[in-house]
């Protein structure tokens, strides 16, 4: 069974599995890292060029992988 953890104030209470939270009395408030690495990627798609769009996406994702973000956001949902 996991624990409810308050992160940076009462409005940020999240559920954490037991493997993340150290064993302490239930009244303890745990501090988790407050930073998150977010990556926003504008794909700049070209209409009716799915192969070219896909190649660009692959090259961008390779460079993103080296930076190890916590979350990747792709505003465009189509490659055509």
Strands 13-16 and 3-6: antiparallel
- For 6-19, the pLDDT digits (tens) are 555 555 555 556 56
Compute φ and ψ for 4, nearest 5 degrees: -90, 130
Please state whether the predicted TM-score (pTM) of the whole model is above 0.75.
no
Residues of the chain with pLDDT under 50: 1-2, 78, 80
The pLDDT value recorded for residue 49 is 92
N-term to C-term CA, the chain: 45
The pLDDT value recorded for residue 51 is 94
The domain spans of the chain are 1-33, 35-80
SS (H, E, C) the chain: CCEEEECCCCCCEEEECCCCCCCCCCCCCCCCCCCCCEEECCCCCCCCCHHHHHHHHHHHHHHHHHHCCCEEECCCCCCC
């Amino acid at each position: 069974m996991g624990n409810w953890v308050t992160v940076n104030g009462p409005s940020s209470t999240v559920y954490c599995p037991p493997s993340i939270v150290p064993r302490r009395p239930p009244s303890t408030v745990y501090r988790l890292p407050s930073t998150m690495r977010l990556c926003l990627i504008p794909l700049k798609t070209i209409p009716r060029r799915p192969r070219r769009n896909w190649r660009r996406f692959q090259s961008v994702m390779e460079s993103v992988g080296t930076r190890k973000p916590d979350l990747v956001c792709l505003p465009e949902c189509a490659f055509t």
